Amino acid sequence: MANSFGQLFRITTWGESHGGGVGVVVDGCPPRLKLAEADIQPDLDRRRPGQSRIVTPRKELDKVQILSGIFEGQTLGTPISMWVRNEDARSEAYSEMATKFRPSHADYTYAAKYGIRNWQGGGRTSARETIGRVAAGAIAKKLLRERFGVEVLAYVKQVQRLVAEVNPETVKAKEIEANIVRCPEPAMAEKMIRLIERMRKAGDSVGGIVEGVARGVPPGWGEPVFDRLEADLGKAMLSLPASKGFDIGSGFGGILLTGMEHNDAFRMKSGKVRTVTNRSGGIQGGISNGESIYFRVAFKPVATVMHEQDTVDTGFRNTTLKGRGRHDPCVLPRAVPMVEAMTALVLVDHALRHRAQCGE
């Protein structure tokens, strides 16, 4: 079950970074959605290594193939199986990983849990696993857009100390895609790129914040109690590699306000119940209130650095390990499509759940 996500629009991902490939099965997609590989590939291109000078240089094309669930260009309502073949299997580049646990990676914990691990390229813990999520998320985004009028976006909000000013109500996809760091404030984007390049040259890495937005969600999606919309979004984001935190609306910053300062007053506007402010982040009591949903995800600096570090080997002896070969100084630009994908997966699942229980 650990490799499935969602209740009604359920995805199951599979695959190690080395082996036959990586993929996903999407179960529960509504029928008669127009769908082709061309709908999926652009998000995979935004996710893949080697897309710009500030991300890991692995040269993979990550061409997706749809194996089932489509007929004459439309979804059948049956499972959609998609996969990407593994190409770049330079396992020798990683051979030291066979006998040493990389610090702040999952090498040790996998070995402790399973008593075996595929040490090549991180195996299942590789960011390649997110290919399946992003492919499934592209379908979810299309469904949300075409059937529910919902738009999902994400962008880099912060790199280390560099914080961009972005209005989640108005930011546009093309502004995000206008630069390689995927920060829609051009001047700050330039600074972020320079910082990341410095880190790359230094063999070091930086983290930051990706902000996610969903606009057009109608009031009523989400559930009370455990499957609150923010709880499911939080789980989705905290399941992404390298994520360490999540907050929504006013989030951690809202702590500094008092209740009177923090509350979102209701007012009628164009015949709709609206809130004057949106510190709730579009969700109240676990259920969408019609305002834009926005939240932040903290990503730690990438663990692989090009310097010698203390560690332990598989024989349980102290040793050192120095990162070699490819180096990803900042995961954030590639995390943007991952955040969008997981957001869309949560929302489309709740859209279907709402229709099941409260539909006519």
**Where in 162-181 is the site for a second copy (CB under 8 A)?**
none
38 binds a second copy (CB under 8 A): no
**Shortest reach from residue 104's CB to a second copy, in Å:** 4
**Shortest reach from residue 119's CB to a second copy, in Å:** 8
Site map 248..287 versus a second copy, x via CB under 8 A: xxxxx-xxxxxxxxxxxxxxx--x-x-xx--xxx-xxxxx
Query: How many CA atoms, within 13 angstroms, populate the side-chain half-sphere of residue 301?
Result: 16
- Beta-ladder partners of 106: none
Region of 37-45, 48-56, 148-156, 222-230 interacting with a second copy (CB under 8 A): 222-230
- 86 near 19, Cβ under 8 Å? yes
**Shortest reach from residue 177's CB to a second copy, in Å:** 23
Region of 38-46, 181-189, 239-247, 333-341 interacting with a second copy (CB under 8 A): 239-247
**Shortest reach from residue 256's CB to a second copy, in Å:** 6
Give per-residue burial for 38-66: e unless 16+ CB within 10 Å, then b. Answer: ebbbebbebbbbebeebbbebebebebeb
244 binds a second copy (CB under 8 A): yes
Give 170 or 320: the residue with its C-beta nearer to a second copy: 320
Q: Looking only at residues 46 through 65 of this chain, which bind a second copy when binding is defined by CB under 8 A?
A: 65
Please give the size of the binding site for a second copy, defined by CB under 8 A: 154
The terminus-to-terminus CA distance of the chain in angstroms comes to: 31
**Shortest reach from residue 183's CB to a second copy, in Å:** 15
Rounded (10°) CA dihedral 228, 231, 237, 241: -140
| Angle separating helix axes 332-358 and 37-47, nearest 10 degrees | 140
Q: CA 189 to CA 332: how far, in whole Å?
A: 12
**Shortest reach from residue 274's CB to a second copy, in Å:** 9
Q: CA 249 to CA 252: how far, in whole Å?
A: 9
Contacts (Cβ under 8 Å, ≥6 apart) of 215 = 150, 151, 153, 169, 292, 293
Task: Report phi then psi at 183, rounded to 5.
Answer: -115, 120
**Shortest reach from residue 301's CB to a second copy, in Å:** 4
Site map 282..321 versus a second copy, x via CB under 8 A: -xxxxxxxx-------xxxxxxxx-x-xxxx---xxx---
Q: Looking only at residues 6 through 25 of this chain, which bind a second copy when binding is defined by CB under 8 A?
A: 7-8, 10, 12-16, 19-23, 25
Q: Looking only at residues 81 through 140 of this chain, which bind a second copy when binding is defined by CB under 8 A?
A: 81, 83, 101, 103-106, 108-110, 112-118, 123-125, 129
Q: Residue from 57, 79, 173, 216 that binds a second copy (CB under 8 A)?
A: 79
Local structure of 284: helix, strand or coil: strand
The dihedral built from the CA positions of residue 144, 130, 337 and 42, taken in this order, carries a sign that is negative
Q: Residue from 31, 42, 186, 325 that binds a second copy (CB under 8 A)?
A: 31
Give 125 or 179: the residue with its C-beta nearer to a second copy: 125
CA nearest to 7, candidates 354, 359, 358, 286: 354
Pairing of strands 80-85, 70-71: unpaired
- Beta-ladder partners of 74: 34, 71
Give 165 or 174: the residue with its C-beta nearer to a second copy: 165
- 323 near 203, Cβ under 8 Å? yes
